[in-house]
Amino acid sequence: CRVLVLISGNGSNLQAIIDGCDDNVDAEVVGVISNKPDAYGLVRAHHAEINTSCVIARKDERRQQYDSRLQQAIEQYQPDLIVLAGFMRILSDEFVSQYIGQMVNIHPSLLPKYAGLHTHQRALDAKDKEHGASVHFVIPELDAGPVILQAKVPVYEDDTVETLSSRVHEQEHAIYPLVVKWFSLNRLKMLENQAYLDDQLI
Protein backbone atom coordinates (compact mmCIF):
# COMPACT_ATOMS: atom_id res chain seq x y z
CA CYS A 1 0.00 0.00 0.00
CA ARG A 2 1.50 3.30 -1.12
CA VAL A 3 0.86 5.86 1.61
CA LEU A 4 1.13 9.59 0.98
CA VAL A 5 1.07 11.94 3.98
CA LEU A 6 0.01 15.59 3.81
CA ILE A 7 1.25 17.90 6.54
CA SER A 8 1.58 21.56 7.49
CA GLY A 9 3.63 21.46 10.66
CA ASN A 10 5.50 19.42 13.23
CA GLY A 11 4.59 16.06 11.77
CA SER A 12 4.58 14.02 14.96
CA ASN A 13 1.75 11.93 13.50
CA LEU A 14 3.76 11.54 10.30
CA GLN A 15 6.62 10.23 12.45
CA ALA A 16 4.34 7.73 14.18
CA ILE A 17 3.12 6.52 10.78
CA ILE A 18 6.68 6.26 9.39
CA ASP A 19 7.68 4.25 12.46
CA GLY A 20 4.56 2.08 12.18
CA CYS A 21 5.27 1.35 8.51
CA ASP A 22 8.79 0.18 9.43
CA ASP A 23 7.15 -2.81 11.09
CA ASN A 24 4.54 -3.33 8.38
CA VAL A 25 5.63 -4.89 5.12
CA ASP A 26 2.26 -4.05 3.55
CA ALA A 27 2.60 -0.27 3.82
CA GLU A 28 5.20 2.23 2.77
CA VAL A 29 5.22 6.01 3.11
CA VAL A 30 6.13 6.93 -0.46
CA GLY A 31 5.92 10.69 -0.07
CA VAL A 32 5.16 13.69 2.08
CA ILE A 33 3.53 16.86 0.79
CA SER A 34 3.49 20.08 2.79
CA ASN A 35 1.80 23.41 2.11
CA LYS A 36 4.40 25.09 4.34
CA PRO A 37 8.07 25.11 3.30
CA ASP A 38 9.30 25.25 6.91
CA ALA A 39 7.17 22.39 8.27
CA TYR A 40 9.34 20.29 10.59
CA GLY A 41 7.65 17.20 9.20
CA LEU A 42 9.68 17.73 6.00
CA VAL A 43 12.87 17.29 8.05
CA ARG A 44 11.46 14.09 9.51
CA ALA A 45 10.73 12.84 5.97
CA HIS A 46 14.28 13.64 4.83
CA HIS A 47 15.71 11.74 7.78
CA ALA A 48 13.62 8.76 6.75
CA GLU A 49 14.72 9.18 3.09
CA ILE A 50 11.17 9.83 1.93
CA ASN A 51 10.52 12.08 -1.09
CA THR A 52 8.81 15.37 -0.37
CA SER A 53 6.99 18.09 -2.27
CA CYS A 54 5.84 21.54 -1.21
CA VAL A 55 2.69 22.99 -2.70
CA ILE A 56 2.58 26.54 -1.40
CA ALA A 57 -0.50 28.67 -1.93
CA ARG A 58 0.11 31.66 -4.17
CA LYS A 59 -1.17 35.08 -3.28
CA ASP A 60 -4.81 35.50 -4.35
CA GLU A 61 -4.92 31.94 -5.67
CA ARG A 62 -8.39 30.41 -5.83
CA ARG A 63 -9.00 27.28 -3.83
CA GLN A 64 -9.74 25.26 -6.96
CA GLN A 65 -6.46 26.32 -8.54
CA TYR A 66 -4.50 25.37 -5.46
CA ASP A 67 -6.29 22.04 -5.23
CA SER A 68 -5.55 21.21 -8.85
CA ARG A 69 -1.84 21.87 -8.25
CA LEU A 70 -2.07 19.72 -5.14
CA GLN A 71 -3.72 16.97 -7.17
CA GLN A 72 -0.88 17.04 -9.69
CA ALA A 73 1.64 16.70 -6.88
CA ILE A 74 -0.34 13.82 -5.38
CA GLU A 75 -0.55 11.96 -8.69
CA GLN A 76 3.23 11.84 -8.95
CA TYR A 77 3.22 9.50 -5.97
CA GLN A 78 0.41 7.19 -7.19
CA PRO A 79 -0.86 6.67 -3.63
CA ASP A 80 -3.34 4.04 -2.51
CA LEU A 81 -4.01 5.99 0.69
CA ILE A 82 -3.79 9.72 1.40
CA VAL A 83 -3.25 10.54 5.05
CA LEU A 84 -3.98 14.07 6.27
CA ALA A 85 -1.80 14.58 9.34
CA GLY A 86 -2.15 18.15 10.51
CA PHE A 87 -2.70 19.46 6.99
CA MET A 88 -4.21 22.84 7.78
CA ARG A 89 -6.07 23.66 4.60
CA ILE A 90 -9.69 23.22 3.74
CA LEU A 91 -10.01 21.16 0.56
CA SER A 92 -12.64 21.83 -2.11
CA ASP A 93 -15.57 19.44 -2.50
CA GLU A 94 -14.43 18.52 -6.02
CA PHE A 95 -10.98 17.63 -4.76
CA VAL A 96 -12.23 15.54 -1.85
CA SER A 97 -14.81 13.73 -3.98
CA GLN A 98 -12.07 12.16 -6.09
CA TYR A 99 -10.54 10.43 -3.09
CA ILE A 100 -13.58 9.13 -1.22
CA GLY A 101 -12.62 5.97 0.65
CA GLN A 102 -8.95 6.64 -0.02
CA MET A 103 -8.29 9.64 2.22
CA VAL A 104 -8.25 9.76 6.02
CA ASN A 105 -7.80 12.54 8.56
CA ILE A 106 -7.09 12.77 12.27
CA HIS A 107 -9.04 15.30 14.27
CA PRO A 108 -8.27 16.20 17.89
CA SER A 109 -11.72 15.66 19.38
CA LEU A 110 -14.25 12.93 19.94
CA LEU A 111 -16.21 13.58 16.75
CA PRO A 112 -18.98 14.52 16.15
CA LYS A 113 -18.08 16.86 19.00
CA TYR A 114 -15.98 19.89 18.12
CA ALA A 115 -15.47 19.82 14.38
CA GLY A 116 -13.25 22.72 13.31
CA LEU A 117 -10.56 24.54 15.28
CA HIS A 118 -9.62 25.06 18.97
CA THR A 119 -10.95 21.69 20.05
CA HIS A 120 -8.92 21.48 23.29
CA GLN A 121 -10.04 24.92 24.45
CA ARG A 122 -13.64 24.05 23.63
CA ALA A 123 -13.47 20.81 25.62
CA LEU A 124 -12.02 22.74 28.60
CA ASP A 125 -14.62 25.51 28.32
CA ALA A 126 -17.40 22.91 28.28
CA LYS A 127 -15.88 21.23 31.38
CA ASP A 128 -15.92 17.90 29.56
CA LYS A 129 -14.75 14.94 31.60
CA GLU A 130 -13.30 13.23 28.55
CA HIS A 131 -11.76 14.30 25.29
CA GLY A 132 -9.74 12.59 22.60
CA ALA A 133 -8.97 12.12 18.95
CA SER A 134 -10.75 10.58 15.97
CA VAL A 135 -9.49 9.12 12.70
CA HIS A 136 -12.13 9.35 9.98
CA PHE A 137 -12.57 8.98 6.25
CA VAL A 138 -12.63 12.37 4.54
CA ILE A 139 -15.81 13.56 2.83
CA PRO A 140 -16.52 17.05 1.48
CA GLU A 141 -18.18 18.19 4.70
CA LEU A 142 -15.49 19.29 7.17
CA ASP A 143 -14.61 16.74 9.89
CA ALA A 144 -17.85 14.89 9.18
CA GLY A 145 -16.76 11.66 7.44
CA PRO A 146 -17.37 8.27 9.03
CA VAL A 147 -15.25 7.68 12.10
CA ILE A 148 -12.86 4.73 11.95
CA LEU A 149 -11.18 4.80 15.35
CA GLN A 150 -11.25 7.05 18.41
CA ALA A 151 -9.07 7.29 21.50
CA LYS A 152 -10.36 8.86 24.70
CA VAL A 153 -8.39 10.64 27.38
CA PRO A 154 -9.53 12.00 30.75
CA VAL A 155 -9.73 15.76 31.28
CA TYR A 156 -8.38 16.90 34.66
CA GLU A 157 -9.48 19.99 36.53
CA ASP A 158 -6.09 21.66 36.32
CA ASP A 159 -5.61 20.90 32.62
CA THR A 160 -4.51 23.61 30.23
CA VAL A 161 -4.64 23.49 26.44
CA GLU A 162 -0.99 22.37 26.55
CA THR A 163 -1.41 19.50 29.02
CA LEU A 164 -4.61 18.31 27.41
CA SER A 165 -3.34 18.51 23.85
CA SER A 166 -0.19 16.61 24.70
CA ARG A 167 -2.29 13.85 26.30
CA VAL A 168 -4.42 13.69 23.14
CA HIS A 169 -1.37 13.75 20.85
CA GLU A 170 0.07 10.70 22.58
CA GLN A 171 -3.11 8.81 21.73
CA GLU A 172 -3.10 10.09 18.15
CA HIS A 173 0.30 8.45 17.71
CA ALA A 174 -1.18 5.13 18.80
CA ILE A 175 -4.34 5.14 16.68
CA TYR A 176 -3.19 6.65 13.38
CA PRO A 177 -0.57 3.98 12.53
CA LEU A 178 -3.12 1.31 13.40
CA VAL A 179 -5.64 2.71 10.92
CA VAL A 180 -2.94 2.85 8.22
CA LYS A 181 -2.13 -0.77 8.98
CA TRP A 182 -5.79 -1.84 8.71
CA PHE A 183 -6.12 -0.05 5.40
CA SER A 184 -2.93 -1.58 4.02
CA LEU A 185 -4.22 -5.04 4.94
CA ASN A 186 -7.45 -4.32 3.03
CA ARG A 187 -9.43 -4.61 6.25
CA LEU A 188 -10.89 -1.12 6.05
CA LYS A 189 -13.46 0.12 3.55
CA MET A 190 -15.84 2.99 3.10
CA LEU A 191 -19.16 2.22 1.44
CA GLU A 192 -22.13 4.59 1.13
CA ASN A 193 -20.73 6.99 3.69
CA GLN A 194 -20.08 4.30 6.28
CA ALA A 195 -16.84 2.77 7.50
CA TYR A 196 -16.33 -0.99 7.71
CA LEU A 197 -13.61 -2.98 9.39
CA ASP A 198 -13.46 -6.64 8.31
CA ASP A 199 -16.86 -6.15 6.66
CA GLN A 200 -18.41 -5.08 9.98
CA LEU A 201 -19.97 -1.65 10.22
CA ILE A 202 -17.91 0.50 12.58
Catalytic positions are 107
Angle value at C-alpha 178, between 177 and 180, nearest 5 degrees: 65
Residue among 169 and 196 whose Cβ is closer to ligand GRF:
169
Residue among 10 and 150 whose Cβ is closer to ligand GRF:
10
Q: How far is the CB of 12 from ligand GRF (least distance, A)?
A: 3
Residue among 39 and 198 whose Cβ is closer to ligand GRF:
39
Binding site for ligand GRF (CB under 6 A): 7, 9-14, 85-86, 106-108, 133, 169, 172
51: annotated binding-site residue? no
Return d(Cα 89, Cα 67) in angstroms, integer. 10
Quote the DSSP letter at residue 36.
Answer: S
State phi, psi for 3 to the nearest 5 degrees.
-105, 130
Q: How far is the CB of 196 from ligand GRF (least distance, A)?
A: 23
Q: How far is the CB of 134 from ligand GRF (least distance, A)?
A: 9
- Taking each helix axis from N to C end, the angle separating 161-184 and 12-22, rounded to the nearest 10 degrees, works out to 30
190: annotated binding-site residue? no
The set of residues, in sequence order, having a beta carbon less than 8 Å from that of 49 and lying 6+ positions away, is: none
Cα distances from 45 to residues 32, 87, 143, 174, 175, in angstroms, run 7, 15, 26, 19, 20
Cα distances from 32 to residues 13, 50, 189, 190, 201, in angstroms, run 12, 7, 23, 24, 31
Q: How far is the CB of 41 from ligand GRF (least distance, A)?
A: 6
74: annotated binding-site residue? no
- Could you tell me which of 72, 66, 75, 7 has the C-alpha nearest to residue 41? 7
10: annotated binding-site residue? no
Binding residues for (6R)-10-formyltetrahydrofolate: 63, 88-91, 105
